[in-house]
Amino acid sequence: MMQFYDDKNISRARKISYLALFTALALVIWMVEEFFPKPVPWLKPGFSYIVIIAAMEVLGLFDAFVVAIVRVIIGSLLFGRLFSPSFLLSISGTVSALVVMSLLFPLRKKYLSLAGISIAGAFAHISAQIFVAGALFYRPDAVLWLLPPMTIWTIFAGAIVGIITIIILEKFKAVKKVSDVNRV
C-alpha cells in the first residue's frame, strides 16, 4: 500500500487533513457528476469512487470507509436528500461496494487489479441499489429486470473508474519518488 504518511509517526491533525482532502475531492467530483447528462435518470459513472479507491490504497481501508460515508452524508445534506429514498439507495450502494472492495483488496496485484476491484464494487453498488429500490417500492420483481442492463453499465463504468485510479496512483508514486529524492 502506498502511503503519504507513516502510521506510527503521523500527527492526528495531518491524518484528519488527509481525510478531509480525500473527502472534499470525492464530494466535489460527486457533485459535479450530479449535473452531467444521464442516459437514464439515476445512472452515473461513479467517478467519486476514483478518490475512494485511491484512499483505500493510500490511506487504508478504514479511512476509505470514512471518506465514502462522509461523502454520502454531506452530499445528501447539500442536495436536501438526507434520509430520503435517494439517500437510502446511495448509502446502501456505497456500503455494499465498500464491503466487496475491502474483501477483494488484499488480492490486488497478485490476482486482481484495481480495475477488477472497481468493477466488483460497481456491481455490488448497483445490485444493492436495485434490491433496496425493490424493498422501498414493495415490488422486488418490478426492479429486478434492471439488473442485466445495469450489469453491462457497471462493467464499463467500473473499468473506467479503475483505470483512471491506476493512472492517478502511478502519477502519485512518481511525484512521491521525486519529492523523496529532493528531501535528501
Position 176 scores a pLDDT of 66
How far apart, in whole angstroms, are the C-alpha atoms of residue 184 and residue 182?
6
Q: The CATH number of 12-168 is which of 1.10.30.50, 3.40.309.10, 1.10.3720.10, 1.10.1760.20?
A: 1.10.1760.20
How far apart, in whole angstroms, are the C-alpha atoms of residue 28 and residue 180?
29
Quick one: what percent of the chain has pLDDT higher than 70? 89
- Summarised one tens digit per residue, pLDDT across range 84-124 is 898 999 999 999 999 999 999 999 888 999 999 999 999 99
Average of per-residue pLDDT across 158-168? 96
How far apart, in whole angstroms, are the C-alpha atoms of residue 28 and residue 52?
13
**Which has the minimum average pLDDT: 64-73, 119-128, 133-142, 149-158?**
133-142
Mean of the per-residue pLDDT values of the chain: 87
How far apart, in whole angstroms, are the C-alpha atoms of residue 92 and residue 175?
35
Q: Is the dihedral of CA 126, 127, 132, 135 positive or negative?
A: positive
- Determine the 3-state secondary structure of 112 from DSSP: strand
- Summarised one tens digit per residue, pLDDT across range 120-136 is 999 999 999 989 988 88
What are the residue ranges of helices labelled H in the chain? 12-34, 48-58, 61-78, 85-104, 114-136, 140-144, 147-183
- Which amino acid type is present at position 88? L
Average of per-residue pLDDT across 5-11? 58
Average of per-residue pLDDT across 56-82? 93
